[in-house]
Amino acid sequence: MSAILPGAAAVDAPGLPDAAELVAISRSVDPSTWSAGAEGRLAEAADRGALVAGRERLLAATGAAAAFSLPEGLEDVHALSAVRAWLAAVEHQTPHAAPDAERAPGPIALGAFAFDRGAPALLVVPAVTWCRDVDGRTWVVEVRPRDATGTRRASRVRRLPDGAAARAAAGADPGTALDAVRFRQVPSPDEYAEAVAIAVSDIRGGRLMKVVLARTVEVRLPTPAVPSRLLATLWGGDRVFSPFSVPTPAGRLVGASPELVVSRRGRRVTSHVFAGTVPLSEPDDDDAQRLFDSEKDRAEHRLAVDEIVHALERRCVGLTVPAEPTVVRLRSDARLGTLIRGTLTTTLSDGDTALELLALLHPTPAVGGVARAAALERISALEPAPRGYWAGAVGWTDGAGDGEWVLGIRSVELDGRRALVRAGAGVVAESDPRAELAETTVKLRPVLDALWPGASKLL
């Protein structure tokens, strides 16, 4: 691992110091105190720091005490293992500890991996992280430097603007005049349908069983988008979504994902597989049953589940895999989901950290295809634009090897006034090109409208 990625100065990360030079201090916070400042704290993290939340833990972070450069992304398993080892080597203190202090969050690294598993990645160790666990415990973790004698010294973390100042500096509220927005689709709708038709032909010819094809919408805004405002619409506290706003070498990735790739807590492993989608209508009483009864969507979903199970059963015992999927209602669409749980057969010394499990699964069949290698080859051939961080993974990991990583879907890549929005659809032998095009449109609409009110009308 090199000290820092070339061109990554935009995230204001200091590189990777010796772990012995730092100390992580965790303090329990009264839930009422945590809640009192939550809105501003979350907005500041989303706009200027990093915000990641999943089923297990919400993290709102500012500043940067260290940064891991991973030039080969998820391909370098040794570097992934070294991340855990470095985090574990940082001294963790819990002054005025509560009875359950041994479970207090220590130093964490968070960030995003691109869809291309070998693309460079950057994980940041925040200087200050506010944590809320699924069980309601609330903590703040500060990672501080030491002096030469090993005693702690006052934190020298750069003070960030408060949430209100950050949002004001980022630009005015979006108006409703769409003529101020520049909009480009890559590929065009007709070209996307043609690509789906080619993929269907490939699948029927036996080259592969499923491939996910994506569309990209490039948006040029009159003022930069404000991440916290995006999340207020895309997430809004809805528990079905996992929100994130993290810096990347190219800018910032903001979104609210419905899909868990993998979480690891101790030896417990969880993955929530999604595949198969139907738009929700008004009234939507029949939509869930229509999706559940769809042979095409059930077959697509089963392919994804079987691939994840095949990968995890080599690492876990007691895998729990429901015989039937459930219908998960989002806001604009519903999806088939299967929650898979298992217990690791190995101890941490044998590997299988959260990052290593992510490397095993990514890209999942929900965003890649079956068989993986053939699907990735067709994606490269049929998609005219690279996917960047869309359909990558966003999350966190710690020194115990635990962590949680969600799919970077239902997201926007921001770089100043430029925004990239993507959506994909799973193509199988029974796919209809126009139906898959319509599915991507349904998925694009809520993200585009969160970016700029009414922007989906330009599709």
Residues annotated catalytic, as ranges: 210, 259
Sign of the Cα torsion 351, 355, 356, 357 reads positive
Helix ranges (DSSP H) in 53-121: 77-89
Closest alpha carbon to 170 in 12, 257, 43, 51: 43
Cβ neighbours of 429 (radius 10 Å): 17
Residue 396 near residue 109, CB atoms below 8 Å:
yes
Helix ranges (DSSP H) in 322-406: 354-361, 372-382
DSSP state of 443: H
What is the phi/psi pair of residue 153, to 5°?
A: -125, 165
Angle at 110 between CA 104 and CA 114, to 5 degrees: 155
Residue with tokens 């950057």: 122
Closest alpha carbon to 384 in 218, 203, 207: 218
How far lies 41's CA from each of 10, 47, 161, 232, 423, in Å? 21, 10, 11, 13, 30
How far lies 457's CA from each of 26, 248, 447, in Å? 48, 29, 12
Residue 308 near residue 357, CB atoms below 8 Å:
no
CA 295 – CA 428 distance, rounded (Å): 11
CA 135 – CA 244 distance, rounded (Å): 20
